Structure 1
Amino acid sequence: MTEGWGPLLVAALATLLLRATGLALAWRLPATHPAIAWAAAVSEAALSAWVVLALVSPGAFPVAVRLVGAGVALGTFFLTGRRLLPGMATGLAAIWVADWLLR
């Protein structure tokens, strides 16, 4: 495993584990239970940390390209009713397109 993929895989597995735990408990606990709120908060925090690291850490894409992707992702997130997956997918696509246009 390369050095760059390790932290991403650990964060993804931690997020999946927390979401799976939340799903397993969801049918037993009310949606307002503190354990459900905690699992959702930790899962979102892990994803947020990864996104911030992806924006500010040195990488293959210039910071300006990453900021364009973040802007597109945020706009899509709000335009689709706060749906995370479409926002992340369009943000990643915007990074690839912006990088291609600048080369």
Structure 2
Amino acid sequence: MGGAALAVSVRRGGAALPEGGFPWASLPALAFVGLADVAANGTYAIAARSGPVTVAAVLASLYPVVTALAARGVLSERLRAVQAAGAGLALLGTLLLATG
């Protein structure tokens, strides 16, 4: 999908690469993101296969909370009140499901 969007953008006159060329300095971060994505999919597959799929699905559904917390920790972004409340409710719901 990303490749198709890039092709359409280039056909309409957009640039395929940034003005400075390929961002080689970002390559380690991009590789880390790719490896983390593969690891996440692999661990989800193992969890779904070896334990109750409901637990794996609930924990996997917390990825937006982890993303928001990572943005706060790494990029120092601020969470709006509604985002903080949503993250808290998601964690609370996970705890309630885990306790039975």
Higher relative contact order (CA 8 A, sep 6+): 1
TM-score (norm 1): 0.42
TM-score normalised per structure 2: 0.43
